[in-house]
Amino acid sequence: MDKKRGKILIIDDDEDILQAVRLFLKKHFALVHADSNPRSLLTLLKNESYDVILLDMNFAKGATSGTEGFHWLNTILEIDPSSVVILITAYGDVEMAVKAIKEGATDYVLKPWQNEKLLATLSAAMNLRHSRKETSSLRSIQKQLIADMDQPFHDFIGISRAMSEVFNTISKVARTDANILILGENGTGKELVARELHRQSSRTDQIFISVDIGALSETLFESELFGHTKGAFTDAKEERAGRFEVASGGTLFLDEIGNIPLALQAKLLRVIDMRKVTRLGSNNAIDIDVRLICATNLPLDDLVAESKFRQDLLYRINTVEIHLPPLRDRVEDIPALAEHFLQRYTKKYNKTGMCISAGALKKLEKYGWPGNVRELQHAIERAVILSDTRVLQPTDFLFPQKDSRENGIVFDGFNLEDVEKSIIRRVISKHGGNISKAAQELGLSRTSLYRRLEKYGL
């Protein structure tokens, strides 16, 4: 054994035993502390982290019940629940050994012991301690990774009445295990809602798995969601757990649920009902425990009416529905969202101190945002990257203009003068600058058209 490995603490009221065991163990472990007074435990554990603690069960003269040992065992585990404690006594029996393990001890040894057996017991206990520390470290790393992955999804901002209703619904249903269906256009933040539901749930410390159903081909659907065994199909070179298995204990978010082919909907329904999955190529069902959240931008009721989506599946996934409003229906949220994204991207691109002018903000509020919050986010990022000034102006935001249904004329708004100006410009351009033809098509005299050209500076 590597002498540099391992820290041992021995607490026993027999000074002769302490001296003997300390001399023996110092040959094998990097650090060995010994003390005859169990009250020293509080100070010792405060100043050092031990791999294994050897604890006597009886300290009072003539005591044989082990009561003191159990008391100090509980004290140690209160200070550090991951401690590895081996109880030692000269008065052991099976009943006491069982109780010791139930109380949290790792092992139980009797005096007198054989040195080699004691050394083997300590080595096994120390390996257990290291495994516990590694597990704790991995959990901590996993928790941090989940937090880091969640970071881009903290943009859940809204003061509008519509968003207040969404927040209220989330707070009511998050701590239940009810299946949730989130409805909304692309870019409205459906995954944000799913992550917020997970964050406020009792599963918050467990994993959150997101699956874009729309990105899965029909051939990959079962393998991705339910897993497969080695050799289940041509490219299955090793066993693989599906997303349901991986998410077990946590939350599974199925985005674009409306895109599941009808033939596969029955298989998904069975998994939801039975709470079991069977990997491709296997006959063994695996128990799963997931909180299911689904989302779609498709009208599922219409798909049900058209026999493209199973009604019984819809019933299973929408115990509670959350409707996300498009950005155009919550214009009052645009200033806060714009400021949030501005702060993010000025920091990312090292352009601190930038702000959005009142005119630019007004332009953002007037735009229809067919891409919703996601489009606003990209617009702010693009403006921050391309702008050479500290104040973002209306010209920093270029939006695709919509053609009117009649004549394909582009309108920036519904102001009558602006509409007339756009029409005149378009008709003159159509006739290559020929005023006579333009006036004729507009139903104006040449003089009237010239007056309008002068008025609008065209």
Mean local confidence (pLDDT), 387-394:
92
Q: Which of 256, 159, 157 is nearest to 215 (CA)?
A: 256
Amino acid at 438: A
Same domain membership, residue 346 and residue 291: no
Determine, yes or no, domain membership for 375.
Answer: yes
Mean local confidence (pLDDT), 200-213:
91
Determine, yes or no, domain membership for 213.
Answer: yes
- Dihedrals φ, ψ of 102, to 5°? -65, -35
Dist CA 267 CA 438 (whole Å)? 64
- Is residue 365 scored above 80 in pLDDT? yes
Determine, yes or no, domain membership for 411.
Answer: no
Determine, yes or no, domain membership for 370.
Answer: yes
- Is residue 137 scored above 80 in pLDDT? no
**Domains in the chain: how many in total?**
4
- Is the Cβ–Cβ distance between 24 and 1 less than 8 Å? no
Q: Which of 383, 372, 379 is nearest to 349 (CA)?
A: 383
What residues make up the domain containing 310? 173-324
- pLDDT level of residue 13 (50, 70, 90 thresholds): confident
Determine, yes or no, domain membership for 165.
Answer: no
Provide the pLDDT for residue 404: 39
Provide the pLDDT for residue 436: 78
| Residue where the block lists tokens 């519509």 | 162
Mean local confidence (pLDDT), 155-170:
88
Mean local confidence (pLDDT), 136-157:
60
Same domain membership, residue 227 and residue 188: yes
User: Among the listed ranges 30-44, 133-147, 176-190, which one has the minimum average pLDDT value?
Assistant: 133-147
Provide the pLDDT for residue 429: 73
Determine, yes or no, domain membership for 234.
Answer: yes
Same domain membership, residue 313 and residue 371: no
| Residue where the block lists tokens 């063994």 | 284
Mean pLDDT of the chain: 85
Same domain membership, residue 189 and residue 98: no
Which tens digits make up the pLDDT trace of 230-284? 887 877 788 888 999 999 999 999 999 999 988 899 999 999 999 999 998 888 8
Same domain membership, residue 31 and residue 128: yes
Which of 291, 324, 357 is the last residue before a domain boundary?
324
Same domain membership, residue 362 and residue 256: no
Provide the pLDDT for residue 152: 46
Q: Which of 302, 214, 313 is nearest to 255 (CA)?
A: 214
- Is residue 145 scored above 70 in pLDDT? no
Q: In angstroms, what CA-CA distances link 376 with 29, 65, 220, 413?
A: 62, 72, 33, 19
Provide the pLDDT for residue 322: 96
CATH number, domain containing residue 388:
1.10.8.60
CA torsion angle 96 97 101 104 (round to 10): 60
Same domain membership, residue 217 and residue 88: no
- Is residue 117 scored above 60 in pLDDT? yes
Share of the chain above pLDDT 90, in %: 43
User: Among the listed ranges 57-61, 129-133, 370-374, which one has the minimum average pLDDT value?
Assistant: 57-61
Determine, yes or no, domain membership for 409.
Answer: no
Provide the pLDDT for residue 138: 67
Same domain membership, residue 352 and residue 268: no
Mean local confidence (pLDDT), 187-196:
93
- Give me Rg for the CA atoms of the chain: 35
CATH number, domain containing residue 19:
3.40.50.2300
Provide the pLDDT for residue 140: 62
Q: Give 162 or 443, the one with higher predicted confidence.
A: 162
SS3 206: coil
CATH number, domain containing residue 439:
1.10.10
Cβ-Cβ contacts under 8 Å for 14 (sequence gap 6 or more): 36, 56
- pLDDT level of residue 94 (50, 70, 90 thresholds): low
Share of the chain above pLDDT 70, in %: 89
Same domain membership, residue 228 and residue 361: no
- pLDDT level of residue 407 (50, 70, 90 thresholds): very low
Same domain membership, residue 302 and residue 335: no
Which tens digits make up the pLDDT trace of 289-315? 999 999 999 999 999 999 999 999 999
Dist CA 339 CA 356 (whole Å)? 8
Provide the pLDDT for residue 65: 65
Provide the pLDDT for residue 386: 92
Determine, yes or no, domain membership for 80.
Answer: yes
